[in-house]
Amino acid sequence: MSAPATASAARPASRSRLRDGALLALVLGAAILWFAPAGMGRYGTYVLSLWLVMSIAVMGLNLTLGYAGQTSLAQAAFMGLGAYATAILTTTYGVNWYAAFALSGLLTFCIGILLGFPALRVRTHYLAFVTLAFSTLIWLLLRNEQWLTGGVFGIANIRRPGFFGLRLDGALAFHRFLVAVTFILALALWWLVRSPWGRAFMALRENPVRAASLGVDTRAYTLLAFAIGSAYGGFAGALYAPLVEFIDPSPFSLSQSLFLLLMVVAGGSGYLLGPFIGALLGVVLPEWLRFAGSLYLIIFASIVLILLIICPQGVSGLAERGWQALRRGRPAGGAP
């Protein structure tokens, strides 16, 4: 009995060191990304910016799935709500972008509570079914309610925000703005995971029955994780709209929600850096494979499939196992 107890005691300490290392990686990554677009051109800068936006959306889904253990199939729908709310408020009503950004996050947070409250009162996968229906409903509303959303024609001429009187219209300026916003949101998530709330989230994921026996309100904490994750989807949409400067319903379909879920799993569910790695695989890797022409989708799908077979816990999980094996002086594939 002593060996398993020692191993289980070592895992939280290892996770704590990994989270501290993840914070250092966030700081170094933000510094690198600040100067990375130099010499990359406008399109290369756009791809990096899109990666940051998708990382924010995946961060929210990672909180719901990786920490609270609940599956959401509506993250792209929350992105769409944030994007359209920001676009409508700024273009039609002239609302300041920062106010629209905050309202988008608040809107998706409240909808997350309203959506998750009835679903989380029951067991098993009801949240996944509810979010599946919600994702389809939102996409149909965005597509058909032309009087509000523009329908299939979308909303154009979405202006980018300013910063202390300076317009962020240039690709490099807006990319650096995205770096700053992404770092702040990632830092907030890092703090949340290390807080008592984060420990309650992880207890829910590992063993909901044991967490309830220790006095954790399982429904309240799960609902909170889902609502915060939904708000991160709204924030990502609010940043996506001025990045592309034109939105239509197509990027917010159910298939995009499934793709975001794939990014969480491939990057490593329950790891702070997992969303960045997963979004890197989902956004940047396909661009690197463009040289293959019409075969690039097949190559991309094959790479992701092999990756998930080799490391079902994602790239971050493989890195953790490799680090633990290195400290024990054994190969990463050795017996535990």
From CA 138, how far away is CA 35, in angstroms rounded? 37
What percentage of the chain reaches a pLDDT higher than 90? 54
26-57 burial, b at 16+ Cβ within 10 Å, e below that, comes to: beebbeebeeebeeeeeebbbbbbbbbbbbbb
pLDDT at 8 over 80: no
Q: Which residue has the higher pLDDT, 228 or 118?
A: 228
Residue 19 pLDDT class (50, 70, 90 cuts):
low
Most confident among 21-35, 294-308, 322-336 (mean pLDDT): 21-35
pTM to 2 decimal places: 0.89
Looking at CATH, the fold of the domain delimited by 14-261 is given as ABC transporter involved in vitamin B12 uptake, BtuC (1.10.3470)
pLDDT at 268 over 50: yes
Residue 336 pLDDT class (50, 70, 90 cuts):
very low
Is the Cα dihedral 319, 233, 91, 95 positive or negative? Answer: negative
Residue 110 pLDDT class (50, 70, 90 cuts):
very high
For residue 130, the tally of other CB atoms under 10 A from its CB is: 19
Between vectors from CA 192 to CA 99 and to CA 134, what angle results, nearest 5°? 60
Greatest CA separation for the chain: 67
The pLDDT of residue 170 is 86
The pLDDT of residue 276 is 95
Partners of 167 in beta bridges: 162
pLDDT at 283 over 90: yes
Between vectors from CA 298 to CA 293 and to CA 304, what angle results, nearest 5°? 125
CA R_g for the chain: 20
The answer to whether the beta carbons of residues 26 and 190 sit under 8 Å apart is yes
For all residues of the chain together, what is the average pLDDT?
Answer: 87
Q: Would you give the distance in Å from CA 220 to the centre of its chain?
A: 21
pLDDT at 308 over 70: yes
**Amino acid at position 183, single letter:** F
For residue 102, the tally of other CB atoms under 10 A from its CB is: 14
What percentage of the chain reaches a pLDDT higher than 70? 91
Partners of 101 in beta bridges: none
The pLDDT of residue 16 is 55
Average pLDDT (276-302) is 86
pLDDT at 14 over 60: no
Average pLDDT (7-21) is 53
- Listed by start position, the domains of the chain span 14-261
The answer to whether the beta carbons of residues 283 and 51 sit under 8 Å apart is yes
The pLDDT tens digits of the residues spanning 120-169 come to 776 567 888 999 999 999 999 999 999 999 999 999 999 999 887 777 88
Q: At what angle do helices 254-267 and 75-91 cross, to 10 degrees?
A: 120
The pLDDT of residue 134 is 95
From CA 242, how far away is CA 287, in angstroms rounded? 21
Question: 17-31, 155-169, 242-256 — which is least confidently predicted?
Answer: 17-31
Average pLDDT (43-72) is 94
Residue 281: how many CA atoms within 13 Å on its side-chain side?
Answer: 29
